[in-house]
Amino acid sequence: MKRWRGLRYRPLHPNIGVELLDLDISRPLSIEAQKDLRKLWELHSLVLIRHQSLSEAEQVSFTKQFGDLVVPPEEETGSREHPEIMRVSNVGPDGKVLPVEHHVQHVANATERWHSDGSYKAVPSYISILHALEIPDVGGETSYAGLVAAYEALPEDMKRRIEGKHTIHYYAFTRFLPGGEPMNPLTPEEIQRLPPASHPLVRTHADGRKSLFLSANSGYYVSGMPLDEGIELFKQLIEWSTRPDFVYCHRWEVGDVLIWDNRTANHSLQPYDRRKRRVLQRTELAGQEIPV
């Protein structure tokens, strides 16, 4: 057991994540607790808080303590009462499981690829907060990769090779199935609203640490080199950063809340039987810094 000022926690994995104990986030936190919690996710990329029961309004209020919220780009997955809430769910408004061929089920397929939420924006998203309401008995875990540790462990020649390189992040790339087949391409309005963004492959953070920054559901190559070479390098870095040395796989329990820093962690949904109910609610904080 460890302490950070007034907060007790334990590690989840040597290179990513801590479980925070004895904290009720349904009520406003003190300024000191807000600062301590922020420090924990910035140091460890991922914070787990168990045994919570948050309404949509409570989750929105909790998230607002740390910054401005993002409204999800997919209107169909947003909450009707609280547009800042994204329903990460295969259950429709009528309370029934959606057909496996439904668009919302296909959108979830893209999240099986390793990614960072909101990386397709000119200023990528900061924090995501996911709260479990209904969980299947088997499968549906979420895995998290620590991109600071992954970068630090890279061979020096690879660090030199990727220094100064960029990747293109484009929301349209999320509209492809894992096998590469297109689904529901963006409308002209969405193309105008969600243009491609170029981000450094290596991010330097305020504390001086560096991390990889790549997202396989909104990108597939490293720019500034021949396309086939850029695709191969991208694959190598995804495979490197998702080795067991850097990955924590979370088996959800109802009431779990996971908070992660999209600047230093990638995540991936693990497969499950899409005929089984899975309902979580997510909030997301807007980024406030230009990646360097």
Residue-wise pLDDT tens digits, 17-48:
999 998 999 999 999 999 999 999 999 999 99
The answer to whether 282 and 85 have CB atoms below 8 angstroms apart is yes
User: Which helix (H) or strand (E) element contains residue 281?
Assistant: strand 279-284
What pLDDT does residue 183 have? 62
What CA–CA distances, in Å, run from 25 to 17, 72, 129, 130, 283? Answer: 18, 22, 12, 13, 14
Q: What is the total count of domains within the chain?
A: 1
Assign 36 to helix, strand or coil.
Answer: helix
216 with 168: CB under 8 angstroms? no
pLDDT in tens, 64-110: 999 999 998 777 677 888 999 999 999 988 899 999 888 788 777 77
Residue 259 has pLDDT above 90, yes or no: yes
Q: Is 145 among the domain residues?
A: yes
**Position 89 in a domain:** yes
Pair of tokens at residue 61: 């209020």
Q: Read off the CATH number of the domain in which 17 is found.
A: 3.60.130.10
Q: pLDDT > 90: what percent of the chain?
A: 75
Which pLDDT score, from 0 to 100, does residue 292 have? 43
Say what the pLDDT of residue 291 is: 44
pLDDT at 117 over 50: yes
Residue ranges making up the domain that contains 101: 2-284
